[in-house]
Every structure is written in structure tokens, then in C-alpha cells.
Amino acid sequence: MTDQQVPSTIKDEALIVKRRNQMIKGAVTLFMEKGFHKTTTREIAKASGFSIGTLYEYIRKKEDVLFLVCDSIYQRVKERMEASIDPEQTTVKSLIQAVRSYFQLMDDMQDEVLVMYQEVKSLSREAQEYVLQKERDMVAMLEQVIINSLPGEYAEAEVRLMANNIFVQGQMWGFRRWILQRNFTIKTYTDTQIHLLLRGLGKETEGIIQPADNAGHA
């Protein structure tokens, strides 16, 4: 699919895909080093292996590059998640496995995820909405795994929050690397998070915890 979101003057569809992949690859590195705003269109062109003029045959505005980058990253993350997680499994073990492979994924792609995280806000409102939908889908996947693994044990709101927690804890491994990766490897991080997830504090909960079976609107 040649992102309809970003039209091009070029006719050759295969070429568009090829050139855009060059762009994305070059741009990610640059965005990682200096951020979107401090990166020049000329730099992007050079890193992509063609000239500034050519760049503008494949995009309209600089922001289009950012969109292509974010979209591509989200897409890859989503695909790898779909490939490694089977939401039809129904054991706690499979939940654990899902968390493990998700965390591993976030470790593999931490640079990309970090870039995405820091720059999506520079996208236009619509582009953000478009890209964020993929995020919702991923959280929903985690939700589904939880529901299937622990049927009937948790309120809807709890499950939703758990899914969000896991999702963010994965990203956190990347965007708080400066502190976490001094204390953990991805393996020990994963193990410890799973440990906390399963055990909780498990004591003296009487009277302190509210029912928490709420799902109302704000």
C-alpha cells in the first residue's frame, strides 16, 4: 500500500515504495540524533541517497517525512505484535508469554519507539489521530489477551488499565533507559515486571482498597 496519506508526483509505484523506504531509514537515524525540528530537509535527502529536489517529488511537506516515519514504525511494531501474540490462548502462561515477547519487541525497537514517542506531537491533528488508532489497536490486543487468560476475574476497567500499564511499561524500557538500563537488562526487567504484575503486594489489603469496579466517564 502506497500511503494515500502522502501523494507523490511520481508514477512508478514500486519506485515510490523504494524511495520512501530509503527516506524512512535515513530519517529515523537523523531524528534520533537531533530530533525532527533540528533536522534539515537537505540532510534527510542526503541521508536517503538522493537530492533535495527528488525528496520533494515524493512528499509535499517536511512533515510528511515525519508521518511516514511514525506510520512505518507503528506499523512494524503492530505487525510484530500480531505475529508473536495469539489472543486466543487462555492460560496465565500465555499472558506471561505475550508480555515477554512485547517487552522483547520494545527492546529491539527502542530507538524507533523513542523517536516516535518524542515526535508524534509534531504531526497534524489528523495524522496523530490516524497513527494513534494503531496504538489503540495494540492496547486492545493486550486487553484481549488478559481477558482470555483471566476470564471473569477482573472488572472491565481493571483489565483496561492493566493493558495500558503493560503497554507503557514496555515503552518505559526505552524512554527511561538512562535510569532503567543501569539497573536491569531486558531479561531482568521483564522478569521483575512480571513478578510484580502477578504477585502484587498481596497483604493488608482489607479496608484500604476500594471496590474499583468502575468504568464511568470522566
Question: Which residues would be at the binding site for DNA (CB under 7 A)?
Answer: 9-12, 15, 19, 38-42, 50-54, 56-57, 60-62
CA end-to-end distance (rounded Å), the chain: 38
CB of 108 to DNA, least distance (A): 29
The CA distance from 103 to 110, in Å, is: 10
Choose from its own copies, DNA, none: what does 140 bind? Cβ within 5-8 Å by kind: none
Regarding 69 and contact with its own copies (CB under 8 A), the answer is no
The CA distance from 15 to 5, in Å, is: 17
The CA distance from 99 to 158, in Å, is: 17
CB of 76 to its own copies, least distance (A): 21
The CA distance from 23 to 68, in Å, is: 9
Q: What is the b/e burial string over 81-101, where b = at least 16 CB atoms within 10 angstroms of the residue's CB?
A: beeebebeeeeeebbebbbbb
**Interacting residues of 218 by C-beta distance below 8 A, sequence separation 6+:** none
Choose from DNA, its own copies, none: what does 191 bind? Cβ within 5-8 Å by kind: its own copies
CB of 148 to its own copies, least distance (A): 14
CB of 111 to DNA, least distance (A): 21
**Nearer of residues 66 and 113 to DNA, judged by Cβ:** 66
Contact call for residues 152 and 91 (beta carbons, < 8 A):
no
Regarding 183 and contact with its own copies (CB under 8 A), the answer is yes
**Nearer of residues 42 and 187 to DNA, judged by Cβ:** 42
Residue ranges that bind its own copies, judged by CB under 8 A: 35, 37, 92-93, 96, 118, 121-122, 132, 136, 139, 150, 157-158, 160-162, 164-165, 168-169, 172, 176, 178-185, 188-189, 191-205, 208-210, 212, 214-218
